[in-house]
Amino acid sequence: MSNGTGTTPAIDTTRLTRHFGALVAVDAVTIAVPASTIFGLLGPNGAGKSTTIKMLTTLLVPTSGTAHVAGADIVRDAPRVRERIGYIPQMLSADGELSGYENLLISAKLHHVASAERQTRIDQALAFMGLTEAASALVRTYSGGMIRRLEIAQAMLHRPAVLFLDEPTVGLDPVARRVVRDHIREVRGEFGTTVVMTTHDMDEADEMCDTLAIMHHGRVSAIGSPASLKASVGPEATLDDVFIHFSGSTLDEGGGYRDVVRTRRTARRLG
């Protein structure tokens, strides 16, 4: 499927809902994400962001509602959705005991990239992410920023229409964060890929995203461009103010034990 800039949204959900017993984790979420844009999903831990992404990437089946990703229904046509997306979780997805090239070769096979095209795709991905000289080195010797760039390269080998990124720069130093952000923008510009990202860094969200959706208690409490959301709160409002206003949470509240463990593990492996 072309991931051009037509009028069909890259992601379109209607009252998307997920229950876990009596808990309503995602409550009737309706959003439309234009193609070839960067869309930020914000909210405190427990707001429903991860559950929403798990449904959109076919890892969870909705309790009710519908969603289409890259033109395919996430329930009725889940295999087609998986063919058209890339997903980079916060936790490590590259094998440190293999080289960068070997990681990309495995990804190419998993994504069914034709054997005649694999070498070209891998070479292009390494060059695009600035990893050509490090291709033969073991990933455990890479810096955090290099690992993140390799993971983006792995997820882009099959030219997905939509790329999902979970906290793409968490645990990185300021220089590495800048490099990774620049490459995410280049992915959108070069391939027309729609990027959906979660982040707790409001400066990152403000700088990177065309549209933001703020989730609170499983619902979308606000959606719009960073500028329009700030204007809706007040003339001098920052995105931090917007987050607090629409989520009822401060940015430093953090999550539960599992959230803290996950974030610290990610920071250690990228550090």
Residue 238 pLDDT greater than 90, yes or no = yes
- Model confidence at 1, in pLDDT bands (50, 70, 90)? very low
pLDDT of 4 above 60: no
Does residue 270 surpass a pLDDT of 90? no
**DSSP code string of 21-43:** TTEEEEEEE--EE-TT-EEEEE-
What's the pLDDT score for residue 260? 41
Residues 6+ apart with CB under 8 A from 204: 169, 177, 181
**pLDDT recorded at residue 254:** 45
pLDDT digits (tens, 9 = 90+) for 113-149: 999 999 999 999 999 999 999 999 999 999 989 999 9
Q: What is the pLDDT of residue 153?
A: 93
- Residue 8 pLDDT: 87
What is the average per-residue pLDDT within 243-266? 60
40-63 pLDDT, tens digit per residue, is: 999 998 899 999 999 999 999 999
Q: Specify the range with the lowest mean pLDDT, choosing from 1-5, 232-236, 238-242, 263-267.
A: 1-5
Q: What is the dihedral of CA 111, 117, 119, 120, to 10 degrees?
A: -110
Whether residue 92 has pLDDT greater than 50: yes
Tell me: pLDDT of 259 over 90.
no
Residue 45 confidence (pLDDT): 87
Determine contact, residues 159/254, Cβ cutoff 8 Å.
Answer: no
Share of the chain above pLDDT 70, in %: 89
Domain parsing of the chain, residue ranges: 11-93+162-270
> How many whole angstroms separate alpha carbon 111 and alpha carbon 106?
9
Mean pLDDT rounded to a whole number for the chain: 89
| Average pLDDT estimate for 25-54 | 95
pLDDT at position 268: 54
pTM: 0.85
Cα separation, 88 vs 202, in Å, equals: 20
Q: Taking residues 78-82, what's their average pLDDT?
A: 96
Pick the CATH number of 11-93+162-270 from 3.40.50.300, 3.10.180.10, 2.40.400.10, 3.20.20.100: 3.40.50.300
Share of the chain above pLDDT 90, in %: 77
Res. 253: pLDDT tops 50: no
Instruction: Using the predicted structure, report yes or no on whether residue 229 has a pLDDT greater than 50.
Output: yes
Q: Cα separation of 127 and 232, whole Å? A: 42
